[in-house]
């Protein structure tokens, strides 16, 4: 990913927080010599500094065979909030429209999990994570175990040890402070959720700069 220095985010905890908050990623690899992508839910697990992504895909999906057999590195893309930025919000006339956004790229070689008990446990952790806020959570243990076993046989569970990460937080850092302030104000007053989230990110970072 092209990341100019002023948009680079290198803090590991910040990048992992975005992955956890997003949950949904795009795994990119290659099958039969051509680019191939699969859209998947991911959970971050592991000790600090040795985290891994845990996920699964349909066994009928050919994507998993490309890394199960050859140990090929995959790219997982997590896209955070994003929004249009208008030059009419700047104090200078020499400007053009742009787009502010947040993204994290994760690289690693996936490991297929074959043990049925480990596959079951991984899916239970995934379900419990996303059902946690429900008044009456759906639970795997409340479903016919034979049905669950059949569903689990139809998927491939895998882990991606995080070899490296790239973070891009394009939040108008290349603009002067008064321009950034006007962008934050405009986005904060937008009805769009993505615009409001970018405004909050920009404001929190601006507050951090002022407190140093």
Say which range, 67-71, 153-157, 206-210, has the weakest mean pLDDT. 206-210
- Find out whether 85 and 99 touch, Cβ atoms under 8 Å: yes
Count of domains observed in the chain: 1
pLDDT of residue 180: 96
Which pairing describes strands 74-85 and 24-31: parallel, antiparallel, or unpaired? antiparallel
Is 201 a domain residue? Answer: no
* Residue 100, domain CATH: 2.30.110.10
pLDDT at residue 94, as a whole number = 87
The stretch 133-154 carries a mean pLDDT of 96
Indicate if the pLDDT at residue 72 is higher than 60: yes
- Does residue 123 fall inside a structural domain? yes
Q: Is 133 among the domain residues?
A: yes
d(CA 110, CA 29): 11
Please give the Cα distance from 10 to 22 (Å, whole number): 18
DSSP H helices, 169-192, are: 177-188
pLDDT in tens, 10-33: 999 999 999 999 999 999 999 988
Q: What is the pLDDT of residue 209?
A: 59
> Is 61 exposed, middle or buried, given 0-12, 13-18 or 19+ CB atoms closer than 10 A?
middle
pLDDT at 128 over 50: yes
* Element spanning 44, H or E: strand 43-45
Sign of CA dihedral 30, 20, 105, 162: negative
Residue 140 lies in a domain: yes
Q: Please state which of the ranges 41-50, 106-115, 164-173, 202-211 shows the lowest mean pLDDT.
A: 202-211
Separation between Cα atoms, residue 103 and residue 170, nearest integer Å: 9
Contacts of 64 (CB under 8 A, 6+ apart): 57, 110, 112, 156, 158
The runs of H, that is alpha helices, within 45-144 are 63-68, 116-131
Q: What is the pLDDT of residue 14?
A: 96
CB atoms within 10 A of CB 183: 24
Q: Which residue has the higher pLDDT, 92 or 115?
A: 115
pLDDT exceeds 80 at position 107:
yes
Residue ranges of alpha helices (H) inside the chain are: 12-22, 63-68, 116-131, 145-153, 177-188, 193-210
Q: Is residue 58 part of a domain?
A: yes
Q: 169 lies in a domain?
A: yes
Residues whose CB is less than 8 angstroms from the CB of residue 2 and which lie 6 or more positions away in sequence, other chains included: none
pLDDT of residue 179: 96
Average pLDDT over residues 94-106: 96
pLDDT, averaged across the chain:
94
* 9 within some domain: yes
Task: Identify the band that residue 211 occupies on the pLDDT scale cut at 50, 70 and 90.
Answer: very low
pLDDT at residue 206, rounded to an integer = 84
Q: What is the mean pLDDT of residues 48-69?
A: 95
14 assigned to some structural domain: yes
Please list the residues that pair with 111 across neighbouring strands. Answer: 159
Residue with tokens 């999990």: 113
- Specify the pLDDT at position 93: 84
Residue 60's domain spans which residues? 5-173
């Amino acid at each position: 990913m092209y990341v100019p220095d002023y948009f680079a985010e290198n803090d590991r905890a910040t990048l992992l927080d975005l992955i956890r908050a997003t949950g949904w990623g795009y795994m990119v690899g290659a099958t039969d010599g051509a680019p191939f992508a699969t859209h998947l839910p991911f959970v971050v697990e592991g000790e600090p500094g040795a985290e891994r992504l845990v996920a699964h895909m349909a066994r009928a999906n050919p994507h998993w065979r490309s890394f199960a057999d050859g140990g090929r590195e995959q790219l997982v893309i997590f896209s955070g909030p994003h929004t249009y930025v208008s030059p009419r919000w700047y104090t200078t006339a020499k400007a053009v429209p742009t787009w502010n956004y947040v993204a994290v790229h994760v690289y690693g070689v996936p490991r297929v999990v074959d043990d049925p008990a480990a596959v079951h446990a991984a899916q239970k952790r995934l379900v419990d994570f996303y059902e946690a806020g429900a008044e009456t959570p759906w639970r795997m243990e409340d479903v016919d175990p034979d049905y669950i076993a059949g569903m689990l046989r139809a998927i491939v569970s895998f882990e991606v040890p995080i070899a490296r990460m790239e973070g891009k937080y394009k939040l108008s850092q290349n603009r002067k402070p008064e321009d950034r302030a006007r962008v934050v104000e405009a986005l904060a007053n937008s009805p769009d959720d993505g615009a409001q989230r970018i405004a909050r990110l920009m404001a929190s970072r601006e507050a951090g700069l002022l407190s140093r």
